[in-house]
Chain A
Amino acid sequence: MSLLLLYLLMLKSTLLSMNGQSSLPIVRAEFVTKRHVLTDRQLNAAVTVAQSSPGPMGGYVVSVGYFIAGVAGAVVSWLALITPAFLVIPLMRYAGRRADSSAVKRSLDAVVIAGSALILQTAWPMAMDSGVFHGVLPAAIAAAAFALVLLTRVPTALVIAAAAIIGWIAGR
């Protein structure tokens, strides 16, 4: 895959997302399902890496880019990640007043909600790949992580680090 195509596909996924993780379904559709240049396991690893790193959640695309095309792929994916951020500037200048429109708010709400449904749908193959449906330990780890993130203020990185250590000990 050429770097230009990688950048454009990554840009499409980041442009059409309203937050970090909501680009996941598009990234999976493009690189895993359609072009077969990434596996579900690598996508899962990329998300794991991003969750374990400081920085925005959308940073997983950098890791995806690295899996696909090495350091150059990581760089163009980072560029695709930051490019949409600058669209906020014309918005700041010209569209500030329209943001109060209830129709625009409803539309944005609907996109966020649809995005969350798609994120759940994307989580399914990742759960299959990481053995959540085939083993007691992976299922328990996933359930515990879900509860900890939802119900406590424990940092996500700590949850993932603890799960990594538990998985490593269990695998020895």
Chain B
Amino acid sequence: MSSENAKLTPTSSAANRSRLSLASIARVYFGVAGSTWGSGSVTVVNIRKELVERRGVLTEAEFSLSYAMARIAPGTNVLAFCAATGWRLAGWPGAAAAVAALSVPAAVVCVLLTLAYGRWAQFFNGAMAAVVGVICAGAFLLVQPYLGRRRWVRTLVLLAAALAAVPWLGPVWVMLLAGLAGYFWPDT
């Protein structure tokens, strides 16, 4: 990542870009909100198409920086990505508009489906079994890029699983200790 990227501010991107109004930002993110089904990567691709390719209001460098920082930030990556790109377009209000436009419709649908769970619970029996499979597949997909790259990574997976089994340690400490171990682990 270049130092130029790191110094970017909300008003310093491509000179030929016209800033989007908050309403336009909300419309863009609301428009792509429906594409995030189980993975934020589709949303990221659609936002890139809309803001970088179609409207030209975000440069490639800004997009890359936003994506990289969203991966580092805690919490849900796709929401951090929306906050980062929204901030690039219109500062803090832009970030708030982008995050709200993406997350509010999903939250409303979530509540409605949770209400439906109480009334049509029989539909959830099969779905719940499927979710177990989906969760396991998701966990595997998360760790898959690291398999075969470095041997110590596999050791760490086993270590984390073992640590999680220790009731008094809990998941938070497992994560923190894993981060610490990764930080000090020597490069291979």
Min CB distance, A131 to chain B, in Å?
A: 7
- Return the chain A residue nearest B133 by Cβ: A145
Q: Could you tell me if A160 and B131 are in contact, using CB atoms closer than 8 angstroms?
A: yes
Instruction: Check if A26 sits within 8 Å of B172, measured CB to CB.
Output: yes
* Secondary structure type dominating chain A contacts: helix
Q: In the bound complex, do residue B160 and residue A82 qualify as a contact, i.e. CB atoms below 8 Å apart?
A: no
For chain A, the bracket of interface size reads: 35 or more
Chain B's closest residue to A150 (CB) is: B137
CA distance A21 to B96 in the complex (A): 23
Range of interface residues on B (Cβ < 8 Å): 35 or more
Binary interface encoding of chain B residues 56-67 relative to chain A, with 1 for a CB under 8 A from any of its CBs, else 0? 000000000110
B14 contacts A by Cβ under 8 Å: no
Known: A59-B103, A113-B146, A119-B139. A160 touches B130 (CB 8 A): yes
A88 contacts B127, C-beta separation under 8 Å? no
CB–CB B126/A46 < 8 A: no
A165 close to B (CB within 8 Å):
yes
- Contact between A112 and B142, CB atoms less than 8 A apart: yes
CB-CB under 8 A from B141, the residues of chain A are 149-150
Contact across chains for A145 and B131 when beta carbons are under 8 A apart: yes
- Is B15's CB within 8 Å of the partner chain A? no
Contact: A156 with B134, CB < 8 Å?
yes
Q: Does B82 make an interface contact (CB < 8 A)? A: yes
Q: Residue B16 at the A interface, CB < 8 A?
A: no
A residues sitting closer than 8 Å to B (CB atoms) are 12, 14-22, 24-26, 29, 41, 44-60, 62-63, 66-67, 71, 74, 78, 81-89, 91-93, 95-97, 99-100, 102-104, 106-123, 126-127, 129-132, 137-139, 141-150, 155-157, 159-168, 170-171
Interfacial residues, chain B to chain A (CB-CB below 8 A): 1, 3, 5-9, 33-40, 65-66, 68-84, 87-88, 92, 95-96, 99-100, 102-107, 109-111, 113-115, 117, 122-143, 146, 153, 156-161, 163-165, 170-172, 174-175, 177-185, 187
